[in-house]
Chains A and B, each alone.
Chain A
Amino acid sequence: MSTTVYVPGDAAALALGADDVAAAITIAAAKRGTKIRLVRNGSRGLFWLEPLVEVATPQGRIAYGPVTADDVPGLFAAGFTSGGKHPLRLGNIEAVPYLARQQRVTMRRVGVIDPHSLDDYLAHGGGKGLALARTLTPAAIVQQVTDSGLRGRGGAAFPTGIKWKTVLDTKSAQKYIVCNADEGDSGTFSDRMLMEGDPYCLIEGMAIAGLAVGANKGYIYTRSEYPHAIAALNAALDAAGDWLGDFQIEVRKGAGAYVCGEETALLESIEGKRGIVRSKPPLPAISGLFGQPTVINNVITFASVPDMLAQGAASYRDLGVGRSRGTLPFQLAGNIKYGGLIEVPFGCTLRELLYDYGGGSRSGRPLRAVQVGGPLGAYLPESQFDTVLDYEAFAAIGAVLGHGGIVAFDDTVDMARQARYAMKFCTLESCGKCTPCRIGSTRGVEVIDRIRAGAVEQIPLLRDLCDTMTAGSLCAMGGMTPYPVLSALNHFPEDFQ
């Protein structure tokens, strides 16, 4: 009988040497005559422990980490294939507090299953949502999504059921399902982890959306910076056989344009054009890809649907607070000791994530600022760390949850420099269609440079410029670049003196 050994094939694990570990385990097992079955799973998202090796035992999956290739002979000597004692042994992975305290719903199979195996996916509860959807009317599927309270996880938090209903109600011979997997926000990696670790979950969510609105063609648009996710999706689609029926999905690779994460720019890009933002209306739900009604949602939004449908809308709606229902896979990043993926229902505080999970800064210095929601999200000072993680609570303090990325900075950070970077990033990534974004960002860099050189009387000018960008930009690129800039200015004025 062979033992199943798991070595993550997730990009983060690979960046920390997982391939070397996998190779060392294969060689050592062969040399010792130990029969193993090596599975390249996704990552559990406990990155300080990667490469995290797991062994299936009668006592559950016993984890060891962080493992280097040099540790492998010692692990075999310690009998790790039957869960033997070793300094790197962490015990049953499910009992590790960082994981045990979470409530994984959407990400529950990531790191658990073999992402290349449809059978493994189905054996772990996958497929039930699609099977159920095939027995329901389109309107009934849409009603379930509406009742769940699910809101778009890409950042805008628009109610998913309303979007789907608009597409359902728009008459057309051809409709499309588009997955926005252009996860460009710094501090975010949940889309990547799901695509690499549980690709069938996304695929199933899109197929359900297809049934719900009457679309037979889907696109997944992801980043050229994510080659492992692209490979995982294509492999999963190739092996899907007739599971999807007549629903077809094509994976499209972006080409290094951050603004293509904006939904209309993304549609332009799929159509083979420059990723220039479209004016709205018309909404993509009415006139989207190739001018047809289009559901466009983020990876996590689609991936939340299969289990929600299978378990019933109430199971999802019962989690969370206020109008933020369900869970969000938060991503704890930057200067943080225990960075990783933390899926919890809305309602806990930023402080809990930063300290109870994250353990404070990696550098050991005090945390000074935290950027939530990517490059277009506000910087929060320590006095706001008790804000509840909820879309409305964040909006109330002039911040955004966005895609759930949390980037921590210690007290060495220069916030005027971060404000400058926000403007600089906007100059690099602006699509150029509207003036406040294209020109405003360039003027923003210049005025911040003057302020940093001592011209503090220019601060009102910077505020005025931010006001113009917020009110006058066509999309979130120019419209939200002022969030990091103004929050830096408001909460850390001493850095601008």
Chain B
Amino acid sequence: MITTLNAIFGKHQHQAGSLLPILHDIQHELGYVPDEAVPLIAKELNLSRAEVHGVITYYHHFRQTPPPRHVVHVCCAEACQANGSEALAEHAAARLQHGDISMEPVYCLGLCSIGPAIQIDETTLHARVTPEKFDSLVAALGERS
């Protein structure tokens, strides 16, 4: 981890206000921001550990524990609600409660005319997702319980 962190610190050495970019890079490399990284980040940026902890926990995006194998973000904002996202989110939560794929709400993916929308692993987008389509997308991820 220390090698990874040092490489990331080096990359951001001359960047003003670099805490968020550093946290993004750490999460990209490790999948989350481990507790052990906090004092090292604090030392690098001349901040207190409390300040770094405060930033990590303030933003919904940053994880403090290893992520599940796959994360499915279901949009729960108004435009998707108007097209049945609440039922989809309930279906998704029930469908995924025991596996190694987790469902998390997200508030707007910018696909508001073609909801309900979901995002898989922060990369792949799907629109007009019905419960049936959801099940086939999840099955394609190779669900393991």
Residues of A within 8 A of B (CB): 11-12, 14-16, 47-48, 50, 183-189, 192, 224-227, 250, 252-258, 269-275, 290, 331-336, 339-340, 362, 371, 375, 405, 407-410, 413, 418, 421, 425, 428-429
| List of B residues within 8 angstroms of A50 by Cβ | 114
A15 touches B117 (CB 8 A): yes
A263–B19 alpha-carbon span in the complex (Å): 19
A sample of 6 more A-B contacts (CB under 8 A), given A11-B109, A224-B61, A255-B62, is: A187-B112, A192-B110, A225-B119, A250-B15, A270-B20, A274-B55
A-B contact pairs, 18 of them (CB 8 A): A11-B125, A16-B127, A186-B80, A187-B112, A189-B111, A189-B113, A227-B123, A255-B59, A256-B59, A273-B19, A273-B51, A332-B113, A333-B113, A333-B115, A334-B82, A335-B82, A408-B82, A410-B82
- In the complex, how many angstroms separate the beta carbon of A423 from the nearest chain B beta carbon? 13
Are A272 and B19 touching (Cβ within 8 A)? yes
B residues in contact (CB < 8 Å) with A: 15-21, 23-24, 45, 51, 54-55, 58-62, 77-83, 106-115, 117, 119, 122-123, 125-128
A464 to B116, CA, bound (A): 35
In the complex, which residues of chain B have a beta carbon less than 8 angstroms from the beta carbon of A192?
110
CB neighbours (8 Å) of B21 from chain A are: 252-253
User: Within 8 Å CB of B23, what residues of A?
Assistant: 255
In the complex, the number of residue pairs spanning A and B with C-beta atoms less than 8 Å apart equals 149
Q: Are A188 and B112 in contact (CB under 8 A)?
A: yes
A276 to B, closest residue via Cβ: B58
Shortest Cβ gap from B83 to chain A (Å): 6
Q: Is B59's CB under 8 angstroms from A257's CB?
A: yes
- Say whether A12 contacts B114, CB under 8 Å: yes
Task: Assess whether B60 is in contact with A253, with CB atoms less than 8 Å apart.
Answer: no
- Interfacial chain A residues near B110, Cβ < 8 Å: 11-12, 183, 188-189, 192, 225-226
Q: List the 7 closest pairs (A to B, CB-CB), nearest first.
A: A339-B113, A272-B19, A186-B77, A333-B112, A255-B59, A334-B82, A256-B60
On whether the beta carbons of A12 and B60 are closer than 8 Å, the reply is no
Q: Which chain A residue lies CB-closest to B109?
A: A225
Beta-carbon contact of B58 and A14 below 8 Å? no
**A interface, over-half SS:** mixed
Give B144 Cβ to nearest chain A Cβ, in Å.
Answer: 26
CB contact between A257 and one of B16, B18, B60, B109 (< 8 Å): that residue: B60
Q: Shortest Cβ distance from B130 into chain A, in angstroms?
A: 13
Shortest CB-to-CB span from A484 to chain B, Å, is 9
CB pair A407 B107 closer than 8 Å: no
* Cβ contact within 8 Å between A269 and B113: no
Give the nearest-CB partner of A196 in chain B.
Answer: B110
Q: Tell which of A272, A274, A335 touches B83, judged by Cβ atoms closer than 8 Å.
A: A335
How long is the Cα–Cα vector from A184 to B110 in the complex, in angstroms? 8
Instruction: Say how far A333's CB is from chain B's closest CB, in angstroms.
Output: 3
CA distance A254 to B61 in the complex (A): 9
- Cα distance, A410 to B81, chains bound together (Å): 11
Find chain B residues with CB under 8 A from A331 CB: 112-113
Give the residues in chain A near B111, CB-CB below 8 Å. Answer: 11-12, 15, 189
CA distance A256 to B59 in the complex (A): 6
Contact A187 B107 (CB under 8 A): no
Whole-angstrom distance between the Cβ of B120 and the nearest chain A Cβ = 11
* A186 x B18 contact (CB < 8 A): no
User: Judging by beta carbons under 8 Å apart, are A340 and B17 in contact?
Assistant: no
- The 8 Å CB contact of B20, one of A183, A269, A333, is A269
A85, B115: Cα distance in complex, Å: 31
B78 touches A187 (CB 8 A): yes
A232 to B54 Cα, complex, angstroms: 31
Taking a contact as CB atoms closer than 8 A, the residue among B20, B45, B125, B128 that contacts A14 in the complex is B125
Instruction: Give Cα A256 to B56, complex, Å.
Output: 11
Kindly provide the distance from the CB of B27 to the nearest chain A CB, expressed in whole angstroms: 9
Inter-chain contact B112/A256, CB cutoff 8 Å: no
Complex Cα gap A224–B24 (Å): 9
Q: Contact between B112 and A290 (Cβ–Cβ < 8 Å)?
A: no
